[in-house]
Amino acid sequence: MERSYKIAVIPGDGTGPEVVSEGIKVLKAVSGVEGFKVKLIYYDFGGERYLKTGEALPDSAMEELRQLDAIYLGAIGHPGVKPGVLEKGILLRIRFELDLYINLRPVKLYPGVQTPIEGKGPEEIDFVIIRENTEGLYAGAGGFLKRGTPDEVAIQESINTRKGVERCLQYAFEFCRQRARGKKLTLCGKTNVLTYAFDLWERVFQELSREYPDVETDYAHVDAICMWMVKNPEWFDVIVTDNMFGDIITDLGAMIQGGMGIAAGANINPQGTSMFEPIGGSAPKYAGKNVINPLAAICACQMMVDHLGEGGAARRIEEAVIQVLKGHLKGLSAGEMGHSTTEVGDLVAEYASKA
């Protein structure tokens, strides 16, 4: 049977369109050699459209996205739009409404890539962070009292449901069991202070661990894990945590794997449409200059094809990225690669389509 996938492409703001078009270049190259088809449906959601129409994401689009096989996103964030409007109106809305409850972020240092951590290399830096993606402080619970007065109160609550915590931990145990590396799952929390939320997380973690005797379990407070990720990254195999802590520690993870130029993530609903994105922002100051690093977007594309069941294509892309990092790039930051954005995309596409 013919393998064919319908993919929503949301290039978004700033450098988003440039990096996405390199990802699509690579996608087309591997689909050709691996023998599957892709149908791309482009959406212009982002700051420009919002400024023109006042609409971040039409309701009808949510229904369309639900019907597709995957969503490929560039970046959201526009200097002309108040912070929060596009993030909540597009990115978080898609995460919440499509119930993309897993945010999967690999922290893998490829050979030849510089890490700021002295004495550590690809052997030591190879783990995955699983971030709960629909609850916690991101749920939007809270409000103001007497806003703008001297008696103002601002409340922002962390919502942790039994169902939400359990499905995230379940996914993490299952993922850890299937990963080749250490079969060690670390829960990252703050049980010494957040004694309600992380009491729930810890109880469910312990309950589930009985069903996974082959997975070693560990626990670290979020502040301590920031220390260990830098000092002893080799201790980690899979880390699971809530939405806010996950947001923070994955930026730290991105830095130790070489920076935002290479860091990618997947927003997953195991039963539905999932979304794939480079984890860096829209970098407006580099937009349109053909200098931004497209590898993070290309790695997001690699995660997407893997998720769609195209393991062969995923391996091709990863191998090509490794070759390009090893033999061609001077650095990973914008303007420091020794190549333009489009040249890097060309190189990856070329390696990825070799026999």
Nearer to ligand IPM, 31 or 274 (CB): 274
Nearer to Mn ion, 13 or 247 (CB): 247
Site string for ligand IPM, 199-238 (x = CB under 6 A): ----------------------------------------
Of 34, 132, 242, 247, the residue at the interface with ligand IPM (CB under 6 A) is 247
Cβ at position 255, least distance to ligand IPM in Å: 13
Label residue 266 left, alpha or beta by phi (over 0 means left) and psi (-120 to 50 means alpha): beta
Cβ at position 251, least distance to Mn ion in Å: 6
Q: Residue 91's binding partner, choosing from ligand IPM, Mn ion, none, with beta-carbon cut-off 5 to 8 A by kind?
A: ligand IPM
Nearer to ligand IPM, 68 or 252 (CB): 252
Residues 75-94 that bind ligand IPM (CB under 6 A): 87, 91-92
Is residue 220 within 8 A of residue 188, CB to CB? The reply is yes
Closest residue to Mn ion, Cβ-based?
Answer: 247
Which secondary-structure segment (H or E) carries 41? strand 37-42
Query: How far apart, in whole angstroms, are the C-alpha atoms of residue 240 and residue 218?
Result: 10
Distances (CA, A) of 137 to 25, 53, 158, 187, 193: 37, 30, 4, 18, 15
Query: How far apart, in whole angstroms, are the C-alpha atoms of residue 119 and residue 171?
Result: 33
Assess 239 for contact with ligand IPM (CB under 6 A): no
Nearer to ligand IPM, 301 or 348 (CB): 301
DSSP secondary structure, 272-323, as one string: S-EEEEESS---GGGTTSS-S--HHHHHHHHHHHHHTT-HHHHHHHHHHHHH
**Which SS3 state, helix, strand or coil, does residue 251 take?**
helix
Assess 247 for contact with Mn ion (CB under 5 A): yes
Give the N- to C-terminal CA distance of the chain in Å, as an integer. 23
Cβ at position 75, least distance to ligand IPM in Å: 9
Nearer to ligand IPM, 18 or 242 (CB): 242
Nearer to Mn ion, 247 or 310 (CB): 247
Distances (CA, A) of 199 to 112, 129, 139, 170: 41, 20, 19, 17
Distances (CA, A) of 281 to 14, 75, 76, 259, 327: 8, 6, 7, 12, 27
Nearer to ligand IPM, 110 or 138 (CB): 138
Residues 96-115 that bind ligand IPM (CB under 6 A): none
Cβ at position 87, least distance to ligand IPM in Å: 4
Question: Is the C-alpha dihedral spanning 17, 23, 25, 31 positive or negative?
Answer: negative
Assess 254 for contact with ligand IPM (CB under 6 A): no
* Number of residues lying near ligand IPM (CB under 6 A): 5
Q: Which residues bind Mn ion (CB under 5 A)?
A: 247
What are the residues binding ligand IPM (CB under 6 A)?
Answer: 87, 91-92, 247, 279
